[in-house]
Amino acid sequence: MNLAATPDSMLNPASPAAPGIVLDGAATKAAQSAFPVAGSAAASPKKPAFPAPAPIPTQQGPNGIRFDFNDGFRLTVPENHRPWKLRLTDLDTGKVEFETELRAGGIRSHKRYYARYRVELWQPGESVFIHDYSATDREVLIQMPVGTLGDSIGWLPYAVKFAQRHRCKLTCAMGENLISIFRDAYPDIAFLTHEEVKTERYYATYSIGLFFDDKAAHSQPRDFRQVGLHRTAGYILGVDPTEMKPRLAIGNDTRPIAEPYVCISVQSTTQSKYWNNPEGWRGVVAFLKEAGYRVVCIDQKAVHGRGEVWNHMPAGAEDETGDKPLAERIRYLRHAAFFVGLSSGLSWLAWAADIPVVMISGFTHPTNEFNTPYRVINFNACNSCWNDPAIRFDHYDFLYCPRHRATPRQFECTRLITAEQVKTVIRRIPRFGEHDC
């Protein structure tokens, strides 16, 4: 089905049903303003999650035509006494996404994820411009929200796949703390903070995030809750969604502790992510110490919570908490026998460090994270609310439990995971209890 609009029936940019934006000559100034970016799970309510694209399209065609693929396909045309006829086609599906006539102004596709488009422009009696998307040897920006750890660790390999497939000049924008562990591992990729990005440089820009409210599928072709937190990046970028670990580079990779040890992480950002069994961590730490391991807690905080609920580092664990560089966390992880943690960023870092990861989580479904044979979940309790598309997760409510808040079943997803269940999984790790470091 062809989607068409004309300057006489301008489409509302805020309308989720609109297939694109068409602006007449009077609205050219609006066409040159930054187009808003859809919200991300990690976005602050006041600050956008990503830098806005350049005010005007960055690529120049003939006769004053400008276009690019920054945050969707964008095109502007100058005023002309002869009308412009425009068609936008998805080359991989053959579907005509947009077709219209206009005398001046521009359009932007609502789809902001990767698509291999062809744009065609005519004026009466002649073809004026044809361009097929090609990122080869062109500057491409893939940007990720700041303030997250596990998300960007899971997403980066898909950006690498995109660069390899398209042979583009790739820039990745992310948090500065992550740049320090990726830059030397990927010398062919430019890593920048959001503040360092010069948006006018790029032929194409793709924003990777968790778009909870994207019912019209403008920012992601598949709902991340159905395909997995990391694999959503593969769908947004149009590459193979099969998971792949990123490479990590650190300066000091010496063993920090001579004796056999295990790293643990017990803290998280909301209570639903915690292991809420009151005897859980105490039992597992004692079990690990009896098996001959030192137990080292590498959380950022030894105590974390809100209001009347506070979570403490378990008794018997050694305190290596603190606001330390990620490189130091990686050093501890690489030499650990294994890691025990939650659905949180340090579990993703342990996965990338290539050690066995025992993940205790009930609020996420196992498909949400990387594959580990040591995943612990109790399917006989309420579980996987995070991956329920009918639930809009509230990141600002520390005690959020969407199905059972203020009932005896609150947080039962992990409260009903026992220490014995976790110990049973740990015993399956090859060479558990054998010490020859």
Active-site positions read 151
d(CA 344, CA 380): 23
CA-based nearest residue to 436, from 252, 253, 258, 256: 258
What does the angle CA 150 – CA 156 – CA 157 come to, to the nearest 5 degrees?
A: 115
H helix intervals, 265-316: 280-290
348, burial (CB in 10 Å: exposed 0-12, middle 13-18, buried 19+) = buried
d(CA 336, CA 338): 5
Size of the chain, expressed as the number of residues it contains:
437
Residue pair 261/337 in contact by the 8 Å Cβ criterion: yes
Amino acid, single-letter form, for residue 37: V
Token couple for 348: 């993703």
d(CA 200, CA 211): 25
Q: Are strands 96-102 and 105-109 parallel, antiparallel or unpaired?
A: unpaired
Q: In angstroms, what CA-CA distances link 389 with 109, 145, 397?
A: 25, 21, 18
d(CA 93, CA 104): 29
389, burial (CB in 10 Å: exposed 0-12, middle 13-18, buried 19+) = exposed
Which residues, 6+ apart, have CB-to-CB distance to 226 below 8 Å?
A: 387, 389
Which residues, 6+ apart, have CB-to-CB distance to 293 below 8 Å?
A: 260, 261, 262, 337
Residue pair 208/142 in contact by the 8 Å Cβ criterion: yes
What is the full DSSP assignment across 109-140?
ES--S---EEEEEEETTEEEEEEE---TTSEE
